[in-house]
Chain A
């Protein structure tokens, strides 16, 4: 039932009404709203019950295991939330002068320093509001760099065929064209194909490492050499940083620019789709182009740095300071873990992934890259199961919901048929992983004994399988009244 259907004309949450307004000249008739908007008229308790009940109809990290590849769904520490919700931080106006927010700016400045050290980069801007905006910032900086050198013809961005969709979409958004480079059967970039692709039009290459295929690109130094020799720059997509955090610095691999997903690697909440944060770090040659604002030192304290400090900046990507509250949570997380704790993230994320991979292999499932180590994630392919039983990767994913496990990433990367991309993260216990192995084992057995049971899953969720075709053919995107 929609909140609108709980509405009773004349009802209101009385405690939320401000005092009666004082005098103001009436608005001119032609500017005035004539009809009230369709908002529900409910009591405070009606609203609280409605939204509390809806919250109970959603999987979350606080309630379920999410082996969701390339998404790093790890535990979100409550302390980070509590620390960022300090009333003074919440009440801080973004345009209040810097002197009134030294504690706040200090946290952001220190976060910049931590991210610089983790990535090996010379400078960091915290302002991008999500991974995709970090990617945009990165490619915009690459373009600005070439342009500043009078090399404006460099408008091609190379991405691997297995890249996340945001990479090619970012190339387009930045006015570049996209070229794809092949990966070989062990998941490595085909270096010959890359050599053939680069040239005078190459702006840069975007790469995740470990890749979206769940394996480390061990030839990365050679990849970097090829792109740099052709005059291009290297972009590190931080989607999979959880695999190497505290162990490998993207700068050491030859990258010129990196974005991090703080909602992945730094455990800030996913919030049902956001907000995230996508800070960017750069090598010295890209530092003049960083998006503003940055936090700079000013004597003993801190101040904002803007276009007066960075006249070549690519500009502002948000009205104020990105997702500042998310940044505070990431800072709190980094302080809780510290140097050693951040390194342990990669250790245990990798241990969990390799353990799970070994156990699933033992359970009879097929790996997409059997000759490789798992990074923090790996891919299994259910092609054989589908050919034998008609049960698809999507069916298995839906059946997992019945077993109390969120579905892994399905059908990505696109080049592995019937794939499940599985990332357990470091915060899950051996018992949870064993339960997941057991669940997949049961589903494989069900697929053979009673395929219809799996194909019609889920059975125990608040709704049965949702008709997405009807949703797209007859879009109902807003309630318009009874």
Chain B
């Protein structure tokens, strides 16, 4: 299972990259895309919209399932990945390249509370059982 060391993770299978400018880029993990199968549609949040940590803010759809994506941190959506409209399958190809949205976090503490790669790997192992 591909779990890059440099990223942070939410229990609900989002990855978060802490950018040098303090913003957070968010996507879904390789495990999430594998569980969903062929992704056919991504519903993205509106730029400028605000979400609390843990709030539903996007949906990733496959043929037989739809998964909600939760904001890993509270904040305002700064940008979304427009390429996913044409090519939702890019999440299947590389879940960590195909980001969903970028968020400006309200406070740093929530960022620090996210799982690291080891913690996320442990959670996945626990879910297996």
The answer to whether B63 and A411 touch across the interface, beta carbons within 8 angstroms, is no
A383 to chain B, nearest CB (A): 14
Is A468 among interface residues, defined by CB-CB distance under 8 A? Answer: yes
The answer to whether B64 and A469 touch across the interface, beta carbons within 8 angstroms, is no
Tally of contact residues, B, Cβ under 8 A: 8
B109 to chain A, nearest CB (A): 30
B88 to chain A, nearest CB (A): 7
C-alpha spacing A469/B40, complex, angstroms: 7
A461 to chain B, nearest CB (A): 19
**Chain A 430-473 near chain B by CB (<8 Å), digits 1 or 0:** 00000000000000000000000000000000000000110011
Chain B residues, Cβ within 8 Å of A468: 63
The answer to whether B64 and A411 touch across the interface, beta carbons within 8 angstroms, is yes
Chain A residues, Cβ within 8 Å of B74: none
C-alpha spacing A469/B87, complex, angstroms: 12
Chain A residues, Cβ within 8 Å of B33: none
B89 to chain A, nearest CB (A): 7
The answer to whether A473 and B89 touch across the interface, beta carbons within 8 angstroms, is yes
Chain A residues, Cβ within 8 Å of B40: 469, 472-473
C-alpha spacing A472/B36, complex, angstroms: 14
Chain A residues, Cβ within 8 Å of B63: 468-469, 472
Chain A residues, Cβ within 8 Å of B38: 469
**Chain B 60-99 near chain A by CB (<8 Å), digits 1 or 0:** 0101100000000000000000000000110000000000
B56 to chain A, nearest CB (A): 14
The answer to whether A473 and B64 touch across the interface, beta carbons within 8 angstroms, is no
C-alpha spacing A135/B10, complex, angstroms: 36
Q: Which of the four size classes fits the interface of chain A? A: under 10
Main DSSP-derived SS at the B contact region: loop
B38 to chain A, nearest CB (A): 4
**Count: A-B pairs, CB below 8 Å:** 13
A414 to chain B, nearest CB (A): 10
CB-nearest residue of chain A to B88: A473
Chain B residues, Cβ within 8 Å of A411: 64
CB-nearest residue of chain B to A474: B40
C-alpha spacing A472/B62, complex, angstroms: 8
CB-nearest residue of chain A to B41: A472
CB-nearest residue of chain B to A472: B40
A71 to chain B, nearest CB (A): 18
B59 to chain A, nearest CB (A): 13
CB-nearest residue of chain A to B63: A468
C-alpha spacing A411/B63, complex, angstroms: 13
A282 to chain B, nearest CB (A): 34
CB-nearest residue of chain B to A394: B64
A410 to chain B, nearest CB (A): 10
CB-nearest residue of chain B to A469: B38
C-alpha spacing A468/B64, complex, angstroms: 9
C-alpha spacing A411/B62, complex, angstroms: 15
Chain A residues, Cβ within 8 Å of B64: 411
C-alpha spacing A472/B66, complex, angstroms: 13
C-alpha spacing A473/B62, complex, angstroms: 9
C-alpha spacing A411/B37, complex, angstroms: 15
B41 to chain A, nearest CB (A): 7
Chain B residues, Cβ within 8 Å of A469: 38, 40, 63
B83 to chain A, nearest CB (A): 14
A387 to chain B, nearest CB (A): 13
A415 to chain B, nearest CB (A): 14
C-alpha spacing A472/B40, complex, angstroms: 6
A476 to chain B, nearest CB (A): 14
CB-nearest residue of chain B to A473: B40
C-alpha spacing A411/B61, complex, angstroms: 17
**Chain B 26-43 near chain A by CB (<8 Å), digits 1 or 0:** 000000000000101100
A398 to chain B, nearest CB (A): 14
CB-nearest residue of chain A to B40: A472
Nearest 9 pairs of A and B residues by beta carbon: A472-B40, A469-B38, A468-B63, A473-B40, A472-B63, A469-B63, A469-B40, A472-B41, A473-B88
A-B contact pairs, 10 of them (CB 8 A): A411-B64, A468-B63, A469-B38, A469-B40, A469-B63, A472-B41, A473-B40, A473-B41, A473-B88, A473-B89
Additional 11 contacts, C-beta under 8 A, given A473-B88, A473-B89: A411-B64, A468-B63, A469-B38, A469-B40, A469-B63, A472-B40, A472-B41, A472-B61, A472-B63, A473-B40, A473-B41
